[in-house]
Homo-oligomer: A and B are copies of this chain.
């Protein structure tokens, strides 16, 4: 029996790609993890979640352990609607679908919108898991570069215009992380936000706005694309997540979109609801002092980012450059002349990890001289030590050329 001979014809193109997860470095115990986009362990509300579960099960007994029936789980939608309201979005209950993290949200949206004829516009570089997912559905992409002010919407417009003039296929969707982008840490400037939405209307494409990092700002909130048109632009499929502000292991993400999209997404979401996890989170969110939680969280990441940046100033050779993020988890390094995926092996030997830049590009060659550092997970001492080790390695590489 040959398993492959039983595969659906529809998945065969996807299986031609690299297997998913290749970007995740194998990290030995004790290695400083500047690769991991995990929250700071001190910010993960372990005690509070424990108390929430205890309280939940004392109050609701078996209800959150069945398929449905937990009022607390049902209440999660309302809480998420309120969180979005704080960020200027007015989302109705039937415009909201809770997912297992942002990844499932991206996958469901891709499943509903993208087929092998679809052109998908993406930022370059962009979130590697989104690239993996989209490539399961299509091989037709339009890549638009990013600078320190986010997506180059002038380039996007130029490319759209050219395609239209040449009668080439236009994109059906643009996937963007406008705020504290993964991996570059950049934020799309306000005029560009207006511009991209104007282009979406003029060229009739949808915008998938991945806002996983939106709440993790250091000083100033940014208005999501979804909010710009009367608090709920139907052209935007908005993806939210609690992974970066509460904890990823709870797997709580969501999509806010037009009701018809939500219905289609639900149609294919066959893992059902997750009552225990959703009710536990709901109980936690109901009790947490959000203002306090966010204030602490923003302060912690602001300080860690600032530390990372000053260590980079001290430890990196002149030729290395980076953007200064205003929020999020990441700093994106350009290391001219160095193949960062080759360097990784040495780096891990020296006890520091990062994610090589190539995984964030469709054409991986473009990313060889870049790498992503996370300041979110490790503590100050480890950040400093990690950058020191990495600096030494890069110095040696640059000197050895």
What number of A residues sit within 8 Å (CB to CB) of B? 77
Q: Report A20 CB to chain B, min CB distance, Å.
A: 6
Do A271 and B99 touch across chains, with their CB atoms under 8 A apart? yes
> At the interface, yes or no: A382 with Cβ under 8 Å from chain B?
no
> At the interface, yes or no: A264 with Cβ under 8 Å from chain B?
yes
CA separation between A275 and B251, bound complex, in Å?
A: 8
Do B50 and A248 touch across chains, with their CB atoms under 8 A apart? no
Do B62 and A267 touch across chains, with their CB atoms under 8 A apart? no
Do A104 and B270 touch across chains, with their CB atoms under 8 A apart? yes
Q: Which residues of B contact A49 (CB under 8 A)?
A: 57, 65
Q: Report A293 CB to chain B, min CB distance, Å.
A: 15
CA separation between A269 and B67, bound complex, in Å?
A: 21
Could you tell me which residues of chain A, from 58 to 105, have a CB within 8 Å of some CB in chain B? 58, 61-62, 64-67, 70, 99-101, 103-104
CA separation between A258 and B4, bound complex, in Å?
A: 11
Contact of A57 among B7, B50, B70, B107 (CB under 8 A): B50
Contact of A8 among B8, B107, B114 (CB under 8 A): B114
A100 with B274: in contact, given A10-B115, A49-B65 (CB under 8 Å)? yes
Do A274 and B248 touch across chains, with their CB atoms under 8 A apart? no
User: Chain A 352-385 against B: per-residue CB contact (8 Å), 1 yes, 0 no?
Assistant: 0000000000000000000000000000000000
Do A62 and B41 touch across chains, with their CB atoms under 8 A apart? yes
A65 with B250: in contact, given A53-B50, A99-B271, A271-B271 (CB under 8 Å)? yes
Q: Which residues of B contact A275 (CB under 8 A)?
A: 249
Could you tell me which residues of chain A, from 169 to 225, have a CB within 8 Å of some CB in chain B? 172-173, 204, 206
> At the interface, yes or no: A286 with Cβ under 8 Å from chain B?
no
A62 with B50: in contact, given A118-B8, A270-B107 (CB under 8 Å)? no
Q: Report A34 CB to chain B, min CB distance, Å.
A: 15
Could you tell me which residues of chain A, from 240 to 289, have a CB within 8 Å of some CB in chain B? 247-251, 258, 260-261, 263-264, 266-268, 270-272, 274-277, 279-280
Contact of A248 among B67, B99, B277 (CB under 8 A): B67
Contact of A249 among B19, B44, B117, B276 (CB under 8 A): B276
Central interface residue in A100, A133, A249, by most chain B CB within 10 Å: A249
- List 14 other contacts, CB 8 Å, given A50-B53, A65-B247: A3-B258, A7-B264, A8-B112, A9-B115, A9-B117, A11-B268, A41-B61, A46-B62, A49-B65, A104-B270, A107-B270, A133-B270, A276-B280, A277-B277
Interchain Cβ contacts under 8 Å between A and B, 22 examples: A3-B234, A3-B264, A10-B115, A11-B112, A11-B267, A11-B268, A14-B267, A20-B267, A38-B67, A44-B62, A50-B57, A53-B54, A64-B249, A65-B249, A100-B100, A104-B272, A133-B270, A136-B267, A247-B276, A251-B271, A251-B276, A274-B277
Q: Which of A's residues lie within 8 Å of B, judged by CB?
A: 1, 3-4, 6-11, 14-15, 19-20, 38-39, 41, 44, 46-47, 49-50, 53-54, 57-58, 61-62, 64-67, 70, 99-101, 103-104, 106-107, 111-115, 117-118, 133, 136-137, 172-173, 204, 206, 234-235, 247-251, 258, 260-261, 263-264, 266-268, 270-272, 274-277, 279-280
